[in-house]
C-alpha cells in the first residue's frame, strides 16, 4: 500500500492542481502537490533502510494487466528492490524540497497551479520508471519524464527562447528514445518477453549468439545493449546527444534542479545498472559505455571552465558528473555508479537551488561577471554553496574512520574502480577522471570566487539598473524569474542591495546541504567496498563487489590522485580569481583560439546546425513551396478552382436570356440523344 501511495499520490495531486487549480486557487494547488511529495518522501525512507539493512527480497506489487496480445503480456506492476529503494528516496526527497523551494521562487507567477501540476506529473513519471517491472512500463515512464520536461522547460511559453529550448530537448530525446524503442523491440524478439526479471535471467544464455541486422550478422547482446544505451545517451545527455541539457536552463530554476539533479538525467544510469546482467554479456557494449562516459566527462568539464552563466556552469557540471557514473557502470562498478547518483542528487540540487537563491537576490542576473562580494549580503546562501562546492569537488580524508563530503566517497570510488578494472578503457577512464577532478575543482571554486568574493560588480548589470528604476527586463519577462525580484530597491547609497531569500527557499537548500555533508559519510559502506550490504547487490552482477574489494587494496597514489587533482584545481582558481584577477584575461589573450573553442562548446551546436538543421530547413522549404504549394495546391484545390472559373466563364456566355438560344441548345441535345440511342440500338 505504501508503494502505491508513493507512486500514485503525485499523479492525483497533478490532476487536482492541473485541472482544478483555477477553482481551488494557487495556495490549495501548491499545498496538495507539495504535500503529496512529502508524504512520498516520508514513506520512501523506511523502505530504503529496510532494503539496505536487511536481506529483504524483491517484491512486486501488481496493479492490473495492461496489454495482452498474442505472446505479448504486459502487467502493470510496481517492483521494489534495492535499486528501486535508492531511486525512490532520491526522487521523492529532492522533488519534495523542489516543491517547497518553488513556493518562494515562483511566488508571484500567475501560472503557479500549472507549474506545480507539471512538477508532480514529472515526479509520477519518474517513479513509474524506477518501479517498472517490464521494459514497456519503463518506456512509459521514460516518455512521461520526456513530456513533463518539455512542459517545464517551456513553462514560460511567451518567451521564444524557452519554446526553442523545450523543442530542442524534445527532438534530441526522440532520437535517443528511437534507439531505446528499437532495443525493446529487439529484446522482445530475442527473449519473447518484456519482463525484466525474465530477461535478466535468460541473458547469460544468449552470450555469443548472433542475429541479423541491417544485412549483417552481429552479436545479439551487443546489438541489444547498444540500442538500449542510445536511449540512455539521450536521456542522460551523453555525447553526442548532450546538446539539449544546457538549453534546458530556460526553464525556471527549480526545474533545472529537478531535471539535472535527481530525476530525468539519471534515468539512463539507472537503466544501465538495472539491466547490468545484459550488459555483462557483451564486453563490447561495456567498453562503449566506458568510452562514451569518459569522453563526455572530459568534454563537459572543459566547457564548464569557460562559462559565465551561473546555471550553465552547473549544467555542464551535471553532464560531466553523469559521465563519471557511466564509465563506472562501464567498468562494472555499479555500486559506485549508483552511489554517485545518490550523492550527486543532494549536492547538485543544492548547487542549482543555491544558484537560484543568488539569481533571486540579483534580480534575474545570471552572469557571474556582474556578481562579486555577495558573501556578506546573502550569508546563508554563501555557506550552503560552499558546502555544495566542497561536496562536488570531493574534499575529505580517508584515514582511520575517515571523513569527507559526499563527492569524496562516491567520485573517488569511481576513479579508483576504473583503475583496478585493468582494461584499456578503464585505464583511460581513470586518467580522464583524475583530470576532470582537477577541472571540477577549478570551475566550482571559480563560481564561488566570482560570485561571493572580490569587489561588487553589480552596477554594470542592465538587470540591476532596470530594477533600480522599477522596470522589467523585457515584456517577455513580466512573469519570469524577475517578477518576484522587482521589490528590491536602491539602498541609501544609491546602489542595488541584494537581500537574502525567504525561508521557503532557504529551508530546502539547508536540508540539501546536510545531505551534501553527510550522505557520503553515512552510506558509503552500503554502496562500495568489500563490506557493502549484501542486500544491495540483489539484482546487480557480483563483479561489482570484486571491484570494491580491489579498490581497498589499490596503491596509495591511486587513492590520493583525485585529492591531489582537487587541490591543484582549487589553487588555480584561487590564483586566478582571488590573488591575481587579471590572470584569466592574460590567458585568453595568449590562447584566444583555445578559449573560443571551449567557450563555444566545441562548436557542437554549429556543427549540428550545418549537418542537420540547415538540410532539414531546406528540405522543408522544398516540400512546402515545391510540393505543397507548387504541386498539391496547384493541381488540387487551386487547380480545381481554376477549372471551375474557366467553366463559369464559358457557361456564362451561354446564359444569354434569349428564347431561341435555349431552343437551339434543347434541339442540339435532342439530336445528340437520338443519335446515341440509334448508335446503341445497332
pLDDT in tens, 286-335: 999 999 999 999 999 999 999 998 989 998 999 999 999 999 999 988 88
Per-residue pLDDT, 510 = 93
Per-residue pLDDT, 682 = 63
Higher-pLDDT residue of 273, 530: 273
Per-residue pLDDT, 294 = 95
Per-residue pLDDT, 324 = 94
Stretch among 220-234, 297-311, 538-552 having the lowest mean pLDDT: 538-552
Higher-pLDDT residue of 273, 655: 273
Phi/psi of residue 211, nearest 5 degrees: -150, 150
Instruction: Enumerate residues 6+ apart whose C-beta is below 8 A from 597.
Output: 603
Per-residue pLDDT, 514 = 93
pLDDT confidence tier of residue 158, bands split at 50, 70 and 90: confident
Q: Note the maximum CA span of the chain.
A: 120
The angle that helices 334-361 and 310-330 make with each other, rounded to 10 degrees, is: 180
Would you report the helix, strand and coil content of the chain in percent, each value rounded to 5? 75, 5, 20
The Cα–Cα gap between 283 and 280 comes to: 7
Higher-pLDDT residue of 254, 229: 229
Which whole-number Å values give the CA distances from 502 to 485, 505, 615, in the listed order?
A: 12, 6, 49
Question: Residue 77: enclosing H or E segment and its boundaries?
Answer: strand 72-80
How buried is 56 (Cβ within 10 angstroms: 0-12 exposed, 13-18 middle, 19+ buried)?
Answer: middle
Residue with cell string 570494491: 548
Per-residue pLDDT, 179 = 93
pTM: 0.86
Stretch among 187-196, 324-333, 470-479, 657-666 having the lowest mean pLDDT: 470-479
The Cα–Cα gap between 619 and 616 comes to: 5
Within 13 Å of residue 362, how many CA atoms lie on the same side as its CB? 31
Q: For 393-431, how does the pLDDT look when each residue is reduced to its tens digit (9 = 90+)?
A: 999 887 767 788 988 988 988 998 898 888 899 999 999
Per-residue pLDDT, 548 = 60
Q: Do β-strands 210-213 and 396-397 pair in parallel, antiparallel, or remain unpaired?
A: unpaired
The Cα–Cα gap between 546 and 529 comes to: 9
The Cα–Cα gap between 285 and 250 comes to: 34
Per-residue pLDDT, 493 = 40
Q: Do β-strands 59-69 and 72-80 pair in parallel, antiparallel, or remain unpaired?
A: antiparallel
Per-residue pLDDT, 465 = 64
Per-residue pLDDT, 609 = 85
Within 13 Å of residue 347, how many CA atoms lie on the same side as its CB? 33
Nearest to 322 by CA among 380, 377, 260: 260
Percent of the chain with pLDDT over 90: 36
Per-residue pLDDT, 54 = 64
The Cα–Cα gap between 480 and 475 comes to: 10
Per-residue pLDDT, 469 = 62
Per-residue pLDDT, 654 = 67
At residue 534, does pLDDT exceed 80?
no
Per-residue pLDDT, 674 = 87
Task: Give the mean model confidence (pLDDT) for residues 3-21.
Answer: 90
Mean pLDDT score of the chain: 84
Task: Give the mean model confidence (pLDDT) for residues 334-360.
Answer: 89
Q: Which residues pair with 77 in a beta bridge?
A: 62
The Cα–Cα gap between 167 and 660 comes to: 69
Q: What is the CA 327 to chain-centroid distance, rounded?
A: 18
The Cα–Cα gap between 536 and 334 comes to: 11
Instruction: Enumerate residues 6+ apart whose C-beta is below 8 A from 565.
Output: 434, 435, 437, 438, 441
At residue 9, does pLDDT exceed 80?
yes
Instruction: Enumerate residues 6+ apart whose C-beta is below 8 A from 118.
Output: 14, 18, 148, 151, 152, 155
Q: Is the peptide bond before 240 cis (omega within 30 degrees of 0)?
A: yes
At residue 380, does pLDDT exceed 70?
yes
Higher-pLDDT residue of 632, 265: 265
pLDDT confidence tier of residue 57, bands split at 50, 70 and 90: confident
How buried is 252 (Cβ within 10 angstroms: 0-12 exposed, 13-18 middle, 19+ buried)?
Answer: buried
Question: Residue 17: enclosing H or E segment and its boundaries?
Answer: helix 2-24
Q: For 449-470, how does the pLDDT look when each residue is reduced to its tens digit (9 = 90+)?
A: 999 998 888 776 666 666 666 5
Report the C-alpha dihedral over residues 77, 81, 87, 92, rounded to 10 degrees: 70
Amino acid at each position: 500500500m505504501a508503494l502505491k501511495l508513493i507512486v500514485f499520490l503525485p499523479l492525483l495531486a497533478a490532476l487536482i492542481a492541473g485541472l482544478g487549480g483555477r477553482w481551488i486557487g494557487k495556495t490549495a494547488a501548491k499545498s496538495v502537490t507539495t504535500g503529496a511529495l512529502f508524504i512520498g518522501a516520508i514513506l520512501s525512507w523506511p523502505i530504503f533502510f529496510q532494503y539496505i539493512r536487511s536481506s529483504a527480497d524483491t517484491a512486486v506489487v501488481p496493479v492490473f494487466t495492461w496489454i495482452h496480445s498474442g505472446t505479448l503480456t504486459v502487467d502493470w506492476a510496481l517492483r521494489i528492490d534495492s535499486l528501486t529503494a535508492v531511486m525512490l528516496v532520491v526522487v521523492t526527497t529532492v522533488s519534495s524540497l523542489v516543491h517547497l523551494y518553488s513556493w518562494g521562487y515562483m511566488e508571484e507567477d500567475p501560472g503557479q497551479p500549472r507549474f506545480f501540476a507539471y512538477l508532480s506529473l514529472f515526479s509520477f513519471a519518474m517513479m513509474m520508471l524506477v518501479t517498472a517491472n517490464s521494459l514497456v512500463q519503463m518506456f512509459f515512464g521514460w516518455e512521461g519524464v520526456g513530456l513533463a520536461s518539455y512542459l517545464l522547460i517551456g513553462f514560460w511559453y511567451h518567451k521564444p527562447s524557452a519554446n526553442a529550448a523545450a523543442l530542442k530537448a524534445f527532438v534530441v530525446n526522440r532520437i535517443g528514445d528511437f534507439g531505446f524503442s528499437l532495443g525493446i523491440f529487439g529484446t522482445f524478439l530475442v527473449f519473447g518477453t518484456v519482463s525484466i526479471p525474465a530477461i535478466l535471467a535468460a541473458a547469460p544464455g544468449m552470450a555469443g549468439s548472433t542475429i541479423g541486422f541491417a544485412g549483417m550478422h552481429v552479436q545479439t547482446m551487443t546489438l541489444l545493449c547498444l540500442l538500449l544505451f542510445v536511449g540512455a545517451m539521450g536521456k542522460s545527455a551523453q555525447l553526442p546527444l548532450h546538446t539539449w541539457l544546457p538549453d534546458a536552463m530556460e526553464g525556471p530554476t527549480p526545474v533545472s534542479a529537478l531535471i539535472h539533479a535527481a530525476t530525468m538525467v539519471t534515468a539512463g544510469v539507472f537503466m544501465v545498472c538495472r539491466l547490468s546482467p545484459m550488459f555483462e554479456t557483451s564486453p563490447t557494449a561495456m567498453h562503449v559505455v566506458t568510452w562514451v562516459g569518459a569522453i563526455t566527462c572530459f568534454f563537459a568539464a572543459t566547457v564548464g571552465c569557460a562559462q559565465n552563466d551561473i546555471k550553465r556552469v552547473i549544467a555542464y557540471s551535471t553532464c560531466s558528473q553523469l559521465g563519471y557514473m557511466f564509465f563506472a557502470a562501464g567498468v562494472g562498478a555499479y555500486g559506485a555508479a549508483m552511489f554517485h547518483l545518490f550523492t550527486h542528487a543532494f549536492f547538485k540540487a543544492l548547487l542549482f537551488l543555491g544558484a537560484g537563491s543568488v539569481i533571486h537576490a540579483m534580480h534575474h542576473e545570471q552572469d557571474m561577471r556582474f556578481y562579486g562580494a555577495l558573501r556578506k549580503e546573502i550569508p546563508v546562501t554563501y555557506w550552503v554553496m560552499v558546502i555544495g562546492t566542497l561536496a562536488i569537488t570531493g574534499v575529505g580524508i580517508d584515514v582511520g574512520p575517515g571523513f569527507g563530503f559526499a563527492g569524496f566517497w562516491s567520485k573517488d570510488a569511481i576513479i579508483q574502480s576504473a583503475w583496478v578494472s585493468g582494461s584499456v578503457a578503464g585505464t583511460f577512464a581513470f586518467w580522464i577522471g583524475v583530470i576532470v577532478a582537477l577541472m571540477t575543482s577549478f570551475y566550482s571554486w571559480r563560481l564561488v570566487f566570482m560570485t561571493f568574493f572580490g569587489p561588487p560588480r553589480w552596477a554594470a548589470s542592465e538587470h540591476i539598473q532596470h530594477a533600480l528604476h522599477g522596470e522589467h527586463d523585457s515584456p517577455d519577462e513580466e512573469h519570469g524569474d524577475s517578477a518576484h525580484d522587482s521589490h528590491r530597491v536602491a539602498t541609501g547609497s544609491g546602489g542595488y542591495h541584494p537581500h537574502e531569500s525567504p525561508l521557503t527557499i532557504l529551508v530546502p537548500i539547508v536540508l540539501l546541504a546536510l545531505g551534501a555533508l553527510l550522505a557520503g559519510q553515512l552510506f558509503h559502506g552500503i554502496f562500495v567496498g568489500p563490506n557493502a550490504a549484501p542486500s544491495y547487490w540483489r539484482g546487480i552482477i557480483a563483479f561489482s563487489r570484486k571491484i570494491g574489494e580491489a579498490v581497498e587494496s589499490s596503491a596509495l597514489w591511486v587513492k590520493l590522485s583525485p585529492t591531489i587533482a582537487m587541490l591543484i584545481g582549487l589553487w588555480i582558481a584561487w590564483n586566478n580569481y582571488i590573488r591575481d584577477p587579471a590572470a584569466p584575461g592574460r590567458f585568453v589573450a595568449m590562447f584566444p583560439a583555445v578559449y573560443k573553442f571551449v567557450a563555444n562548446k566545441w562548436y557542437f551546436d554549429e556543427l549540428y546546425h550545418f549537418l542537420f538543421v540547415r538540410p532539414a530547413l531546406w528540405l522543408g522549404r522544398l516540400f512546402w513551396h515545391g510540393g505543397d504549394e507548387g504541386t498539391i495546391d496547384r493541381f488540387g484545390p487551386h487547380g480545381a478552382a481554376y477549372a471551375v472559373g474557366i467553366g463559369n466563364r464559358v457557361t456564362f456566355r451561354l446564359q444569354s436570356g434569349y428564347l431561341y438560344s435555349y431552343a437551339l441548345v434543347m434541339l442540339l441535345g435532342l439530336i445528340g440523344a437520338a443519335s446515341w440511342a440509334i448508335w446503341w440500338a445497332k
